[in-house]
Amino acid sequence: MKSVRPKVPGPPEGTVADATRPDPLSDVLRTVRLTGALFFLWHVSSPYATPVPSGRTFAPIVLPGAQQIISYHIVTHGSCWSALLGEAPVQLEAGDILLIPHGDAYVISSSAPLCMAAQFDMEPSLQFFRQMAAG
């Protein structure tokens, strides 16, 4: 069975896109007021389990005044597991994006069992954020 992808309409080949056409991404970016961002590059090896506290807990440390924290991770190599605390873990592979839009506490780990620990000590993660904020 042959799979065929539908063609997405666009500007004719060799022309510039019409600037009057609606651009949904630009509309969203005009509506959302971003006030800050932090980026971390992780290089990890097994075994590891890194709990991340809720955005309400660490926002005052790293982004005082932030109304909401949206965490995300992009897996560039290998795989990992992640779960909201108390939920079933999901496996992520290279190219996957993990998005935590409501600032819930979660964990990223090298294996599903490590994601399912009954309790995580958030203090080491909070200490990391404090050190980051201090420079």
pLDDT tens for the chain, 135 residues long, are 444 444 445 555 555 555 566 677 677 667 776 666 777 778 888 999 999 999 999 889 988 888 888 888 889 999 999 999 989 999 999 999 998 988 899 999 999 999 988 788 999 999 998 998 888
pTM value? Answer: 0.71
Per-domain residue ranges of the chain: 48-134
Residue type, position 66, single letter? A
Q: Which CATH class is domain 48-134?
A: mainly beta
